[in-house]
A and B are shown apart, each in its own frame.
Chain A
């Protein structure tokens, strides 16, 4: 069964595209189905935003805390590091001690940056 399924695909992931579209379609179909089946009575109170019973003061397009932006920036930096780890692990057999040492230098630089952010209280909320 295993080899049979692998041979069916010939290694092309594009053959999964109909399944991606089908999964997307099922979710869209559920929403469309609910919209068609249920009774819709549009009311001013129902379609306004939630504000614990009051009328909404203003919308959510105001500036937000900069901490979230800083967390996203840090995530990008460390995610790039994780991405760099992937070929390191895949080719570990051929990178002898010198390769490991190079990667360790890279990681130590990033750990120093994490320490600096810790000190500057960037990751406190």
Chain B
């Protein structure tokens, strides 16, 4: 046991720190990417004052939020109030431990990786409920309830779509799902599921056009109306971490992670993975800039009356095909 910890554990700690640093920098610049890209779609420039092309904007935002006063509302339940952003951000970070970035580049090579991901995504809803309940304001409470109801409705369809992918792969291991796509990507063989997964991703991360719980006109900032400075920043970062993670997950499940798209370009697996992630991030930002918001009852109708029956029936159909043709 002691010899285990003598040299090898440093390698794991170093890889964890590298993952953490790159992930945090990536999230910070994702906020900038979103603003610049949305600005381009709206025919204006995004932030370009702070650094060269606005590249120091995330740093400025972070500094500002850190130096603002932390307002603790007098009517709130303080312990849960402070636990909520910490828990949300924690759940978002912890999801990254099982993602493979290239052949063998994974922090914890979990054979049941997708089950872990489904479990922790379900935990993430607690953070919203905590924040809505503990900030003792009607706006926050209603926003938290609506957001939580939306997230749990779309989580069912998300789970069923992920199960369909697992069915044709035969394993929960993310690396094996990628290797199974070496002949053809899952987005080609299961194209409608890819579209459905993108829609569920948008709803699961409370992202436009499903962002009614945090829209400004309806409920002013929803469940985080009572939060200021770094607590708000943690919610914000948690949301963007979820966006980045979901893009990475979609690239792994549907577009074949680190596998090359065209074989004549000798780029490394990491570069291919980043390209696919960026494609999904662009889809996220593009959809935000293009579509108007769903009304809340339309949103729940989509989740329960359309997506859930379709994903359920698709899973049954797929398992019937697999069993009848003997394709294991």
Contact = CB atoms under 8 A, between A and B. Distances in A.
B167 A9 contact: no
A123 interface: yes
Interface centre among A48, A82, A124 (most CB of B within 10 A): A82
Interface stretch (B51-59, B82-90, B203-211): B82-90
B86 A2 contact: no
B66 A33 contact: yes
Nearest to A78: B156
Contacts of B75: 48-49, 56, 59
B162 to A, nearest CB: 9
A108 B97 CA distance: 37
Contact of A9 (B16, B108, B139): B108
Interface in A40-84: 40-41, 46-52, 56, 59-62, 64-65, 68, 71-72, 74-75, 78-79, 82
B8 interface: yes
Looking at chain B, what size class is its interface with the partner chain?
35 or more
Interface residues of A, number: 73
B163 A124 contact: no
Interface stretch (B33-41, B224-232, B246-254, B271-279): B224-232
Nearest to B136: A59
B76 to A, nearest CB: 8
A76 B175 CA distance: 30
Interface of A: 1-6, 8-10, 13, 15-16, 18-20, 22-24, 26-28, 30-31, 33-35, 37-41, 46-52, 56, 59-62, 64-65, 68, 71-72, 74-75, 78-79, 82, 85-86, 88-90, 92-93, 95-97, 100, 103-104, 107, 111, 114, 118, 123-125
